[in-house]
Amino acid sequence: MIQLDNICKSFGDEDVLRSLNLHVRKGEMFVLLGVSGCGKTTALSVVAGLVKEDSGDIYVDGTRINGLPTAKRDIGFVFQNNALFPHLNVHENIEFGLKARRIDNRGKVKRALEIVGLDGFDNKNPMKLSGGEQQRVALARTLVTEPSCILMDEPLSNLDAIVRERLRYEMKQIQKEVGITCIFVTHDQTEAMMLGDRIAVMNKGRIEECGTPEKIFYKPEKEFVARFIGMKNFFNGKIVSLDENEGVMDITTENFDLTAVFMPLDEGTHVKACIRPEEIILMRSNQKTSARNEIRGKILSIFPNGVLMRILVDVCGAEFFVDITRLAAHNMELKVGNDVVLTFKACSVHVIP
């Protein structure tokens, strides 16, 4: 549907996009995820024709659109600040694009309002609506022209947490109902995982890795991506044995041994092993479990981590981060200096060759 081939863009001496390649499938919600300054917004602007690429090709439905002006690219854009016209009511804001394109309304505005859940808001002043309602108006204004695809540049970032969470769900439902292709830019990992059919992690103007939310968040191929999406507990190790029948392999690190799920690698291969903090079970004493990994340690610190408590544990000179609920920490009466046992399954050990 949308394809970028070797797109490069520089501003002065700064290379913002460096041979950027991506392919967005028809009807999918494709998320560009990355930190500020990695090139996400510039990539959207190049697709929309708001910024001219230095080199490379842009295709929509197989047609090269590099030379087309923005108005003729049949692409909708939802901005971070919604960009509504304060002197027009909701109906007039949504109808604006139809008039600009000389398209007969024929109930299109009413249908767009119904899709975004604002039926009956026609005559309201958009400046008197809530932030979430304003973004719905902005989305309706884009949908009403029936573009081939929609580009969204962090449209929820200015909203409060409760409204943002609700609109994420609603935007996903609307996108699937309409069946429109969408590229959604965000720096928010939760947003990316909730919205994306596929996610591309950007870094310094390039795509580091692209895949489903499951693949990106739980089976990343690159250490940069693993660290970016919240993997902790990284350890350098070496494969010392492989058991294909049992489906496991043993890894030794400088401080302890690990058992991970079998991979078709050779003994002696040096790897990076990492474990997400929330996949580790922390206990005060030995208890029989099905987990293949059991490691003893001592609590170094305890501190809040959002709705969870993060426990820093010393294991033979190495540091393990473990996330547990506040209630669990209270019930176990955890304190700095406590001896603890960490257990986790072989499938929780993610191995990067």
Cα(146)–Cα(153) distance, integer angstroms? 19
Report whether pLDDT(106) > 80: no
Residue 288 has a pLDDT of 80
- For residue 242, pLDDT beyond 90: yes
Per-residue pLDDT reduced to its tens digit, 263-289: 999 999 999 999 999 999 999 987 888
Task: Provide the pLDDT for residue 191.
Answer: 95
pLDDT higher than threshold 90 for residue 79: no
* 231-352 CATH: 2.40.50.100
Please tell me which residue, 232 or 102, carries the higher pLDDT value.
Answer: 232
Q: Is the pLDDT of residue 233 over 80?
A: yes
Per residue in 172-196, pLDDT tens? Answer: 999 999 999 999 999 999 999 999 9
Report the pLDDT value the prediction gives residue 332, as an integer from 0 to 100.
Answer: 95
Q: Does this chain's domain 2-227 share its CATH topology with 231-352?
A: no
At 78, phi and psi to the nearest 5?
-110, 120
CATH class of 2-227: alpha beta
- Residues of the chain above pLDDT 70, percent: 100
Please determine, for residue 97, whether its predicted confidence score (pLDDT) is greater than 90: no
Domain ranges for the chain, please list them: 2-227, 231-352
Which pLDDT score is estimated for 82? 83
User: Structure pTM?
Assistant: 0.91
DSSP strand pairing (206-211 vs 293-305) = unpaired
Residues 51-57: what's their mean pLDDT?
A: 97
